Chain A
Amino acid sequence: MKEFSNYVKLFVIGIVLATFSSLLTHCPEQNPSGPIDDPGEETEQVKQFNIDVITAFESGNKQSVIDLMYDEYKEIYSQELNATPGQMQAFANALKDRKLIYANEMYAEYEITIEGQIYTIAYSNSGEGDWKLHRF
């Protein structure tokens, strides 16, 4: 217990040090929000949804993928998913090494690389945290 409270104190010291260093080095007027290419951070929910997407593509079952999409996108992307099981597996594998381009709490976009080509994929939710595959 004593050791645990010691760890907590050290953790708080770390946060305090970070706060001071941020205050000393950050000029908000000149640096409003970081660079335009700042990708943000994946939330745990998006990370979990990525697992769902990967699983769906790995299954080779196209409907499993389409079911993850918004209703109004399903018809179009049913035709888009003109894929062999091998292609779906390759896509799933690429997703495991995805690169985050941008994420906020409602939208996420990634780059994936397959055979040297870069593609993008996007997820979103309507504010309630129920993530959907926006496009692939």
Chain B
Amino acid sequence: MKIKNILIVMLGFSTYFALQLVLRGYEHTESHPSINKAIIEKFNNYYNYDAKIEKFKNYSFNFSTDMTKLTGLALTNPGYIEGSTTNSEASKYVDEWIEHGGYSADEPELQAAVRHFYDPTKAEGSRHLTNRGTYWEGVYPNPRTDAIEWALGDTYKGESNIWSMRIGKASMILALTEKDTNKRKEHLASAYRCLGETLHNTADMGCPPHTRNDSHAAPLGYSGGWILGSPDPYEELFNPSVTESNKDNIPDPNLESYFNSSQTVRSINQRLAQFTNSNFFTNETINGNGLESYTSINKDGKYAAPLLQNLEYLPESFSFVKKFPSGREVILARDQSYFRFRGYPYVDKKAAHSQATELVPNIIHAGVNVMRLFIPHLEIEMKKTDEISDTVEINVKHNTDSEYPNSVLYAGPIYFKVNNKMHDSVLIIEKGKFKGVLPFQIKNNDMISAMIIMPGFRISTEKELRIKMNPLWGVWYIKEVLDDSNDPAAPKKGTVFSGTKFYQVLSNGYVKITNLDGSGLMQLKIDNSGLSFTISGSNSTQSYSQSGSVSSDQEKWTAQTSSNYKSGTNDYYRKYSSSGSRKPLSSKVKNNLDTDEIFSLGNK
């Protein structure tokens, strides 16, 4: 092949990778999803192997691996202003919805650009973005809505946010009270997208410009971007690799403890904002005495903390550093200057990535606890109503808390494990309660647990329930073989009969034996100890006796059955070898038991 041809092929080869680098460089639409992803992973790891808290002792989580596709509305066309974006139906996995919410929260971009700020140093009602207002308020009226109230949606300023935490919790409740599987999945898609958008707010509270009233350009390709100001170096230098590199750092111990004990999402995000605001500069909100006395470039950025004079200065790297309780030494700003040796301090890549080493783990741990509060606290209890029948009671109890203050009455499927194997049958319950017979046969000594399975998490009964019931209780598929008879009207010896009966053992020493539709009632005495049994009954002209034993696995029984009756002065008998099985019989024999036809006693 000519060298020229080889070079052209190589040019195409390298162009592919060059294009990837250019496009990958613009990362801000991926930073938040990467943070949400890291939060999900930490949540799974944090609570799956050690429940740590009473609430989750019977929960298991699989947000990252659940393979259920949930269909809901996803942002499919981004835009700059309200009305310029489009949401369309999409199917995503659980973790994809949460990550998607991390991205969609920033759309439409101008709406988000002025609602994603929270200044914890200001009075309530005044914590929203005001910086550069003289530029942009003429274009877009200031909604005077701070980031937390927008994300949580629980005040009048945030209630127009249709992807808020408030809507997310409402969607979760709808999912937990919806019996229809498809509608349940739609509600969950909404719930998880809302969770993702709330986690976007959590991440913003760990981003210095968002907590220091530092307006900055974000949108790309719009000529009006300058009204929001210049880009913030920390934001622009942040990309998914920064998340990846710092996600396993230990959080600040004080923050960790606070987040772990928080009872509201609001308190978590507020606390994180306070931490970020008071401990980190942005490039335009640097204050204090370094080489000289400096005030912030941002006229609204004169914060009391941090201050340069309270930081340690490392002359060898021209760095202002702070040592955090985590043990990390973080570069907050640098002042190296060619023209002045030391100049006006700034945030460059070294400082931004150093800040991220402290901020990222705290964002993630805050997010883990936001998720903790987002999941309602349910408990499933299952018990037998007595030790004879197969009737069980199931209660799904909701423990109310600050985020879910009203009781949730669970409606939907309950799944079961029987003797450590998942059962195919599903029970649909309503209003959190059930009392009755399970949709599958159970037998004495079965170990059963019940669970609610939701995409992303499942809740199980705390302990398995050991079934105690009479080993004869329930449906039996019965075969009778006529062994012997002196009755001239009897069929020939060896004739096989079959039938299906329901045995309802009573507490008074009797058993009711009926057809499955309740007809053909026989009420007879029963005497059983362990697996052996004798069923008998008589009146002036007839008597019946069946003695046998149930197998150790309680799936079968065998017995000798005899029925006797008087006709005039004659005493007739018929003797059978009988057997019962929990599984349907396949024999093609007469459907009615012979004992049905020649013998029936009324109710005692």
Interface flag for A36 (CB, 8 Å)? yes
Shortest CB–CB separation between residue B83 and chain A, in angstroms?
20
Cβ-based interface call for B218 (8 A)? yes
Query: Among residues 6 to 36 in chain A, which have CB atoms less than 8 Å away from a CB atom of chain B?
Result: 6-7, 10-19, 22, 32-36
Asked whether A126 lies within 8 Å of B217 as measured between CB atoms, the reply is: yes
From B15, B236, B245, B346, residue with most partner A Cβ within 10 Å:
B236
Stretch at the interface among B18-26, B449-457, B502-510, B596-604: B18-26
A129 and B222 alpha carbons, distance in the complex (Å): 9
In contact, B236 and A107 (Cβ under 8 angstroms): yes
CB–CB B338/A87 < 8 A? yes
Q: Is B26 in contact with A105, judged by CB distance below 8 angstroms?
A: yes
Please, how many angstroms separate the alpha-carbon atoms of A33 and B240 in the complex?
6
Q: Is the CB of B297 within 8 A of A36?
A: no
Given A32-B244, A40-B25, A128-B225, A15 contacting B15 (CB threshold 8 A) = yes
User: Nearest-CB distance from A54 to chain B (Å)?
Assistant: 14
A residues less than 8 Å from B226 (CB atoms): 126-128, 130
A70 and B25 contacting across the interface, CB-CB below 8 Å: no
Among residues 328 to 343 in chain B, which have CB atoms less than 8 Å away from a CB atom of chain A? 336-340, 343
Let me know if A58 is at the binding interface, CB within 8 A: no
A34 CB → nearest B CB, Å: 6
Would you call B488 an interface residue if the criterion is a C-beta within 8 Å of the partner chain's C-beta atoms? no
Residue B233 CB within 8 A of the other chain: yes
The interface size of chain A toward B, counting residues with CB under 8 Å, comes to 58
Q: Does B405 belong to the interface (CB within 8 Å)?
A: no
Whether B30 pairs with A33 at a CB distance below 8 angstroms is yes
Distance between A129 CB and nearest chain B CB, rounded to angstroms: 8
B409 contacts the other chain (CB 8 A): no
> Do B344 and A107 touch across chains, with their CB atoms under 8 A apart?
no
Q: List 13 A-B contacts (CB under 8 A).
A: A6-B5, A18-B13, A18-B14, A18-B17, A32-B240, A40-B25, A80-B344, A82-B339, A106-B26, A122-B346, A126-B230, A127-B225, A127-B231
B385 beta carbon closer than 8 Å to chain A: no
Shortest C-beta distance, B234 to chain A (Å), equals 10
Q: Is the CB of B297 within 8 A of A76?
A: yes
Q: How far does the Cβ of B373 sit from chain A's closest Cβ, in whole Å?
A: 27
B residues in contact with A119, CB < 8 Å: 336-338
Interface pair B344/A102, CB less than 8 Å apart: no
A residues in contact with B530, CB < 8 Å:
none
A residues less than 8 Å from B10 (CB atoms): 14
Interfacial chain A residues near B304, Cβ < 8 Å: none
- CB of A49 within 8 A of chain B? no
Any A CB within 8 A of the CB of B242: yes
Within 8 A of B (CB), among A108-136: 109, 114, 117, 119-120, 122, 124-130, 132, 134-136
Q: From A3, which residue of chain B is reached at the shortest CB distance?
A: B4
In contact, A87 and B12 (Cβ under 8 angstroms): no
Does the CB pair A14–B13 fall under 8 Å?
yes
Interface size on B, residues (CB 8 A): 61
- Chain A positions within 8 Å of B, measured between CB atoms, are 6-7, 10-19, 22, 32-36, 38, 40-41, 43, 70, 72-73, 76-77, 79-83, 87, 91, 101-107, 109, 114, 117, 119-120, 122, 124-130, 132, 134-136
Contact of B339 among A41, A87, A109, A120 (CB under 8 A): A87
Q: Mark B281-304, 1 if CB is under 8 A from A, else 0.
A: 001100000000000011100000
Q: Quick one: which of B221, B297, B338 has the most chain A CB within 10 A?
A: B338
The smallest beta-carbon distance between B313 and chain A, in angstroms, is: 18
CB-based contact B27/A106 at 8 Å = no
Partner of A34, one of B24, B218, B283, B344: B24
- Number of A-B residue pairs, CB cutoff 8 Å, is 175
Contact present for B241 and A34 (CB under 8 Å): yes
Chain A residues with Cβ below 8 Å from B349 are 101-102, 109, 120
B26 contact set on A, CB distance < 8 A: 104-106
Q: Are B236 and A80 neighbours in the complex by a CB distance under 8 Å?
A: no
Question: Would you call A11 and B338 a contact (CB within 8 A)?
Answer: no
Asked if A18 and B12 sit within 8 Å, CB to CB, the answer is yes
Query: Which residues of the partner chain A approach B34 to less than 8 Å between Cβ atoms?
Result: 32-33
User: B233 contacts A107, CB within 8 Å?
Assistant: yes
Chain B residues with Cβ below 8 Å from A7 are: 8
Given A18-B12, A72-B297, CB of A126 within 8 Å of CB of B229: yes
Query: Top 7 A-B pairs ranked by shortest CB distance?
Result: A14-B12, A127-B225, A40-B25, A18-B16, A107-B236, A126-B217, A126-B225
Contacts of B244 on A, CB cut-off 8 Å?
Answer: 32-33, 36
A136: chain B residues at CB < 8 Å are 338-339
By a CB distance below 8 angstroms, the chain A residues around B297 are 72-73, 76
**B208 near A: Cβ within 8 Å?**
no
Name which residue of chain A comes closest to B80, CB basis: A127
Q: A32-B34, A126-B217 are in contact. Are A40 and B225 (CB under 8 A)?
A: no
Known: A14-B13, A126-B225, A130-B226. A76 touches B24 (CB 8 A): no
- Is the beta-carbon distance between A40 and B21 smaller than 8 angstroms? yes
Taking a contact as CB atoms under 8 Å apart, the answer to whether B220 and A43 are in contact is no
A69 to chain B, nearest CB (A): 9
| Any A CB within 8 A of the CB of B219 | yes
Please name the residue on chain B nearest to A130 by beta carbon. B226
Given known contacts A104-B236, A122-B348, is B15 in contact with A114 (CB within 8 Å)? no
Known contacts: A18-B13, A72-B297, A80-B344. The answer to whether A127 contacts B222 by CB under 8 A is yes
Contact of B13 among A15, A34, A40, A124 (CB under 8 A): A15
Find the residue from B8, B221, B222, B245 having the highest chain A CB count within 10 A: B8
